[in-house]
Structure 1
């Protein structure tokens, strides 16, 4: 059984509520690290221009490069396949940050720690959803067993779109229902 996220880019409005809920749960009160990040992209040329937003956290990859390159074992996969970080073993070398193609591990200056999405493991252990899933007003996010997510959301899902690379190396546990705009390779991020 592999656990991971489902994201529907056709439903995401780019509101960033998932991003804020994640920061709040982790107690990240200052500007800086975003364990769940929302970015908005534009594609096309006038008069045929579109925008889409993308929400991404840790993809809890099958072959996580952050785990493979961590010199101390601070970054590891638990029995359920979730990629976690052990603060007590970390030496702060930031190798996990430079290894991850998704920018999932990030350094929190005020805490002097590597932080990342842990899929709200403590909440899930208590029978709840990750906060990003429950916070999403558009219901563009879900989390669970990958086979169950495929069954629930359809067979036309992908694990990579042009604005998110790295799937060939890491095999992310991420299923994306890509909008028409999201599959175009002429995307440019809009900085808001």
Structure 2
């Protein structure tokens, strides 16, 4: 395996504006049929009585996630035709449209909901890391679109060295399942809450 490409997400500064999601939909002309990158709000908490007052103990933060081009992708294992493959040189998980039969096994197996069925072609589709932009020396569309600059990408070991190796926060599956090529700087509340769910 060559150098695994990975996404970086600075969750503590994400405002949940969904510009990354819109840029991705625009690039791939997805309109209403799918979203290769999705933004989720994670919110919860309660109020605690303190004397005559009520103190808020609430939290809210966001997750921006696409296909994580995982190191142990469950989608590849579930595909009966070998349509899903992990590229040797950069670890990007690709779908071979010549082999995809639209059985939806990859869709069911992905814990991130990253793979969707194209209602027109009846085949699976997902983020390809903007391969055409990478080939032209450009960043993925989502990275360039983010007004807060919370998205980036790079070689996985370099991102780990720079930002650590946190690959999951509340609202995301356990990273041990697929070892996602995703490094996260968590929001302060993501470090303390448990049982949080996506909204």
TM-score, normalised by the number of residues in structure 2: 0.89
Task: From 85, 90, 102, give the equivalent of 1:76.
Answer: 85
**RMSD in angstroms over aligned alpha carbons?**
1.4
Rounded to whole Å, the distance in 2 between the matches of 1:166 and 1:110 is: 33
CA positional deviation for 1:86: 1.1
Rounded to whole Å, the distance in 1 between the matches of 2:195 and 2:178 is: 24
Q: Which residues of 2 match residues 78-93 of structure 1 at below 5 A?
A: 78-79=87-88, 80-93=90-103
Q: Which residues of 2 match residues 169-180 of structure 1 at below 5 A?
A: 169-180=177-188
Correspondence for 2:66: 57
2:170 touches 2:197 (CA, 8 Å); kept in 1? no
Correspondence for 1:13: 15
CA deviations on 1:8-45 (whole Å, 9 max, x unpaired) are 1111100001001111111112x242110001111321
Task: Decide which structure has the larger Cα Rg and report it.
Answer: 2
1:102 touches 1:166 (CA, 8 Å); kept in 2? no
CA positional deviation for 1:110: 3.3
Gaps of 5+ in 1: none
Task: From 132, 149, 162, give the equivalent of 1:122.
Answer: 132
SS of 2:12's equivalent in the other structure is coil
Cα distance, 1:18–1:60 mapped onto 2, change above 3 Å: same
1:101 touches 1:166 (CA, 8 Å); kept in 2? no
Q: Which residues of 2 match residues 124-143 of structure 1 at below 5 A?
A: 124-143=134-153
Q: Does 1:40 align with 2:41?
A: yes
Q: Does 1:160 align with 2:163?
A: no
SS of 2:172's equivalent in the other structure is coil
TM-score, normalised by the number of residues in structure 1: 0.92
CA positional deviation for 1:50: 1.6
Correspondence for 2:5: 3
Rounded to whole Å, the distance in 2 between the matches of 1:63 and 1:143 is: 19
